[in-house]
Chain A
C-alpha cells in the first residue's frame, strides 16, 4: 500500500496557503491539486456525460475555469466544494446538451430504491443472520483489504456502481466531503444523498466480502 498522496495544501496544511500558492500560479501547487483530484473529477463527470472522452474534456474545462476563477473565489465554501460545483455545472450543461438517456434527475430518484444492503438469502425468515458475516479485523487482518487484488476488486466494484451512487460515494468517501457539501454540489436532498451512499457502501462491502471469501482471488 502506497502512502497517501502529498497534501496539496501548504506545509501547515491550510487551505489559505494552498489558495495563496494557486493564485500566485505556483506550478507545483497546481500539479499537486491536479494529481489529487483529477481521477475523482473524471469519475464525477462520467456520471453526467456519455463518454470518457467528453468527461475528460469537461474536466479539462473545469481546471481552466478554476484557474480563471481563483481571483473571484471568496472562500465561502471549501476549495474542494467550489471545484466540484464548477464541474457539476459544466457536466450538467454538457449532459443536457447531449440529451443523455439517463438524466441528472436520476439523482433525485435513486435507482433501485428497494435493492437490499445484504442479499436476503443471508437471513432467516425472522430477520436474523443465517449466513453471518466474518469479522475481518480478527480473522481477516485488515491488510488483506490492501493487497493489489483487493484494491482492484474495490475499483471494479466502484466502476460498476450506478452513476449516482458512484458520484456520491466518490465525494463522500474518496474526497471526504460532508453530506451538506454533497447535497449542495449535486442539488439533492439529504435523504437522497443518504440512500445513494448507503447503496454504494453496501455494494462495495459485498464485493470485498465476496473477494475475501474466494480467498482473495481477482473479482
Chain B
C-alpha cells in the first residue's frame, strides 16, 4: 500500500503518464481514500497553473528597439 509520503514523490511520474498500470491503480486508490493527498495534488496543479499564468518579464525597450532596428535592415526571408 502506498503511503502519503511515497505518493508525494510519485505525483510527477503519474502526471507524466510514466506509471505502470498497477502502480497507477494503487495511486488512484490512495487518492480515493485520502483527502490530504487529494489536497496535495490539487495544490500542485494550482501551482503549475499559477506558474503558467506568470506575466512575461518585460523586455527592456532598448533591447527591443535594437532588434527591431536590425529587422528593418533585413530583406524578407525566403
**Footprint of B on A, CB under 8 Å?**
1-2, 4-5, 22-25, 27, 30-31, 34-40, 42-43, 56, 60, 63-64, 67, 70-71, 116-118, 120, 123, 126-129, 132-137, 142, 145-146, 150-151, 154-155, 158, 169, 173-174, 176, 179, 190, 194, 197-198, 201-202, 204-205, 208-209
How many A-B Cβ pairs are below 8 Å?
155
In the complex, are the beta carbons of B11 and A117 less than 8 A apart?
A: yes
Please determine whether A179 and B67 come into contact, CB atoms closer than 8 angstroms: no
Q: Please give, as numbers and ranges, the residues of chain A lying within 8 Å of B18 by CB-CB distance.
A: 190, 194
Asked whether A30 and B54 contact (CB < 8 A) given A71-B77, A132-B36, the answer is no
Q: Which residue of B lies closest to A38 (CB)?
A: B59
Interface residue range, chain B: 35 or more
* Residues in B neighbouring A35, C-beta threshold 8 A: 56, 59, 64
Q: A25-B74, A25-B76 are in contact. Are A179 and B16 (CB under 8 A)?
A: yes
Query: Are A129 and B78 in contact, CB atoms less than 8 angstroms apart?
Result: no
Chain B contact residues, CB within 8 Å of chain A: 3-6, 8-9, 11-13, 16, 18, 35-40, 42-44, 46-59, 63-64, 66-68, 70-72, 74-78
Residues of B within 8 A of A27 (CB): 68, 71-72
Does A30 contact B68, Cβ atoms closer than 8 Å?
yes
Given contacts A39-B56, A129-B36, contact A136 B4 (CB under 8 A): no
**Are B57 and A133 in contact, with the CB atoms below 8 A?**
no
- Which 8 residue pairs across A and B have the least CB separation, nearest first? A127-B3, A39-B57, A132-B36, A198-B12, A71-B77, A70-B77, A127-B5, A23-B77
Chain B at the A interface: SS class = helix
CB distance from B67 to the nearest CB of A (A): 5
Residue of A nearest to B18 (CB): A194
Decide yes or no: A67 and B74 within 8 Å by CB, A34-B64, A35-B59, A173-B52 being known contacts. Answer: yes
Of B43, B54, B63, the contact of A174 (CB 8 Å cutoff)? B54
Cβ of A173 and Cβ of B48 under 8 Å apart? yes
The distance in angstroms between the C-alpha atoms of A31 and B66, with both chains bound, is: 11
Interchain CA distance A155-B58 in the complex, whole Å: 14
Cross-interface CB contact of A23 among B12, B56, B76, cutoff 8 Å = B76
